[in-house]
């Protein structure tokens, strides 16, 4: 294919254009809009689209662009313009060539994995069912319902507001009369237990005063303790660019583990826009920018095999569990899962979970009773998750689904466990080589007209998965060259598009047999 590459330096902008070339990168939360055609100004210094970001672009023709620092960019008619010079480096002929070269140089695989339970069993998060009313009785009720309804035990995450206040890691005594006993009981049911934490500290608390005296909190222009704005209000914040502050924070988490038997932590917040709410910030690292604080927060998780992040800067190739940002309860959100998961893989975040089944944006659930749920949406969402590296429940399917639809979702959880050996094989390969687990069709089958396919994906190099991402009972599937066998045992000749029937109880997937 003849290529036409144009690079124009325009004062503080840099323009990259290539005829018949597609580009991905920069923001996982924009994955559903990639490959890029049009994108309004997006600033990696202050925006993250509620998800992971990285200073990277990859092309379908084997080019990558990387900047050590954050930048802003726009896309017009497929042309990427960045605020810093990022000359493309041509390293091959395909998207895979570009990715492997970039990750080898800038975010090489660590060889390490998060705990394997993340991949082999479903995860359960108490957020949608309990929201800010986290309490011992309801958490135990939720966990027992998992088992009673035939779902396999896995990682259970206790979400925000279990703690006395931000910066404190003791359970609220009035809501958790025996927190250690609760966690012991969860362990006896087969769960590993994680709790939600953030880098923020409630003002005028004992922890606040102690940390301020130690010099462990971020400060503002006047050298006062900075008050950062985030979704739960205004708080002080750990200065994790200070090695002693980071060490202290980890020691506090270790104390909580020892006292209660906690297995790990959901590391929330840390978004670059939180740090942007005070400008300028004064930190131990005087050169730290917003994204450096985000990266410092992410590095805390490396000390805990049970970890989860939703916002990140760089850190590709590391044994950190990432999760897609909270999605609405909507079909539009279901359609975003596959392309965003694929872009996560292209940015080095192989160990990613596609949000919560049915959506993790709690406001979407506030005014819906169990009789008004679109059950088809919940079932199809579970099917998208089933053959991803991880799947996570939050809204209780046994509360909102009919017995028939609950059985389908239960089957999806079982299917995930049945695929666990292959998923683990892919996870180990990702840890060793950096190769994504969830792959774009263009990544696996380059230059075959598949760059804009967003409703099917490859699980490793062996399985093509084609869930329903719209309401309905049929869809088209594009099978690349080769011989394929579907979930019902039927063989197909590749290189063609097939229209298949997909009743609600079916998740179509195709194994490449030669």
* Beta strand pairing call for 483-486 and 491-493: antiparallel
State phi, psi for 132 to the nearest 5 degrees.
-85, 5
Q: How many CA within 13 A on the CB side of residue 147?
A: 16
**Same domain, residue pair 98 and 160:** no
**Same domain, residue pair 380 and 469:** no
Q: What is the secondary structure of 145-180 as a DSSP string?
A: HHHHTTPPP-EEEE-SS-BSSTT--SB-TTT-TTHH
Q: What is the DSSP letter of 7?
A: E
Contact 166, 245 (CB under 8 A): no
**Same domain, residue pair 192 and 335:** yes
Cα of first residue to Cα of last residue in the chain, in angstroms, is 27
**Same domain, residue pair 315 and 360:** yes
**Same domain, residue pair 333 and 389:** yes
**Residue 149 within any structural domain of the chain:** yes
**Same domain, residue pair 440 and 414:** no
**Same domain, residue pair 83 and 45:** yes
Q: How many helices (H) and strands (E) does the chain have?
A: 15, 28
End residue of a domain, out of 59, 75, 106:
106
**Residue 346 within any structural domain of the chain:** yes
Contact 85, 129 (CB under 8 A): no
Contact 489, 508 (CB under 8 A): no
**Residue 123 within any structural domain of the chain:** yes
**Same domain, residue pair 321 and 467:** no
Per-residue pLDDT of the chain (514 residues; tens, 9 = 90+): 334 444 443 334 455 555 579 999 999 999 999 999 999 999 999 999 999 999 999 999 999 999 999 999 999 988 899 999 999 999 999 999 999 999 999 999 999 999 999 999 999 999 999 999 999 999 999 999 999 999 999 999 999 999 999 999 999 999 999 999 999 999 999 999 999 999 999 998 999 999 999 999 999 999 999 999 999 999 999 999 999 999 999 999 999 999 999 999 999 999 999 999 999 999 999 999 999 999 999 999 999 999 999 999 999 999 999 999 999 999 999 999 999 999 999 999 999 999 999 998 878 777 666 567 899 999 999 999 999 999 999 999 999 999 999 999 999 999 999 999 999 999 999 999 999 999 999 999 999 999 999 999 999 999 999 999 999 999 999 999 999 999 999 999 999 999 999 999 999 999 999 8
**Same domain, residue pair 71 and 123:** no
Structure tokens at 351: 């160990």
**Same domain, residue pair 361 and 311:** yes
Give the C-alpha separation, 59 to 113, whole Å. Answer: 28
CATH number at residue 485: 2.60.40.1180
**Residue 12 within any structural domain of the chain:** yes
Strand partners, 87: none
End residue of a domain, out of 106, 135, 153:
106
**Residue 263 within any structural domain of the chain:** yes
**Residue 287 within any structural domain of the chain:** no
Give the C-alpha separation, 350 to 159, whole Å. Answer: 24
Residue length, the chain? 514
Structure tokens at 344: 């996560």
Provide the number of structural domains found in the chain.
Answer: 3
End residue of a domain, out of 422, 444, 478:
422
**Residue 321 within any structural domain of the chain:** yes
Peptide bond before residue 127 is cis, with ω within 30 degrees of 0: no
> Which ranges in 72-205 belong to alpha helices (H)?
95-106, 117-120, 127-130, 136-148, 179-188
CATH number at residue 387: 3.20.20.80
Give the C-alpha separation, 443 to 301, whole Å. Answer: 29
Domain that holds residue 496: 435-512
**Same domain, residue pair 305 and 403:** yes
**Same domain, residue pair 313 and 258:** yes
**Residue 219 within any structural domain of the chain:** no
> Which ranges in 261-330 belong to alpha helices (H)?
272-275, 290-300
Give the C-alpha separation, 354 to 365, whole Å. Answer: 18
């Amino acid at each position: 294919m003849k290529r036409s590459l144009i690079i124009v330096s325009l004062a503080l902008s840099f323009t990259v254009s290539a005829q018949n070339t597609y580009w991905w990168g920069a923001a996982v939360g924009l994955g559903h809009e990639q490959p890029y055609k049009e994108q309004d100004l997006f600033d990696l210094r202050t925006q993250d689209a509620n998800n992971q970001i990285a200073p990277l672009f990859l092309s379908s023709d084997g080019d990558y662009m990387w900047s050590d620092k954050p930048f802003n960019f726009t896309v017009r008619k497929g042309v990427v313009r960045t605020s810093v010079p990022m000359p493309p480096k041509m390293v091959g002929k395909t998207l895979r060539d570009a990715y492997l070269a970039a990750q080898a140089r800038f975010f090489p695989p660590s060889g390490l994995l998060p705990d394997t339970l993340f991949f082999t069993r479903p995860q359960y998060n108490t957020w949608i069912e309990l929201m800010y009313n986290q309490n011992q009785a309801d958490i135990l009720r939720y966990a027992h319902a998992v088992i009673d309804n035939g779902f396999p035990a896995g990682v259970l995450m206790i979400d925000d507001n279990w703690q006395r206040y931000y910066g404190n890691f003791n359970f609220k005594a009035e809501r958790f009369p025996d927190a250690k006993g609760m966690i012991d009981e969860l362990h006896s049911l087969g769960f590993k237990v994680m709790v939600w934490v953030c880098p923020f500290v409630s003002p005028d608390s004992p922890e606040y005063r102690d940390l301020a005296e130690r010099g462990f909190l971020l400060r503002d222009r006047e050298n006062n303790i900075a008050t950062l704005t985030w979704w739960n209000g205004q708080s002080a914040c750990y200065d994790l660019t200070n090695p002693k502050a980071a060490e202290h924070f980890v020691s506090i988490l270790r104390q909580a583990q020892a006292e209660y038997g906690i297995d790990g932590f959901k590391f929330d917040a840390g978004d670059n826009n939180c740090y942007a709410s005070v400008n300028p910030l004064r930190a131990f690292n005087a050169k730290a920018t917003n994204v450096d604080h985000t990266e410092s927060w992410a590095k805390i998780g490396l000390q805990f095999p049970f970890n989860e992040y939703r916002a990140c800067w760089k850190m590709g190739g590391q044994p950190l569990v990432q999760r897609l940002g909270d999605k609405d309860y909507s079909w539009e959100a279901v359609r975003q899962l596959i392309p965003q998961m694929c872009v996560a893989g292209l940015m080095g975040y192989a160990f990613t979970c596609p949000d919560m089944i049915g959506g993790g944006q709690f406001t979407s659930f506030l005014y819906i009773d169990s009789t008004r749920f679109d059950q088809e949406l919940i079932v199809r969402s579970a099917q998208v998750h089933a053959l991803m590296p991880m799947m996570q429940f939050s809204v209780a399917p046994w509360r909102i689904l009919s017995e028939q639809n609950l059985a389908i979702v239960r089957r999806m959880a079982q299917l995930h466990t049945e695929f666990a050996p292959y998923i683990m094989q892919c996870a180990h390969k990702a840890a060793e080589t950096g190769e994504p687990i969830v792959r774009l069709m263009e990544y696996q089958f380059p230059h075959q007209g598949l760059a804009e396919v967003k409703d099917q994906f490859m699980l490793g190099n062996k399985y093509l998965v084609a869930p329903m991402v719209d309401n309905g009972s049929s869809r088209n599937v594009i099978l690349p060259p080769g011989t394929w066998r579907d979930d019902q045992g039927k063989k197909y000749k590749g290189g063609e598009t097939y229209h298949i029937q997909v009743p609600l109880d079916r998740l179509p997937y195709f194994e490449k047999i030669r």
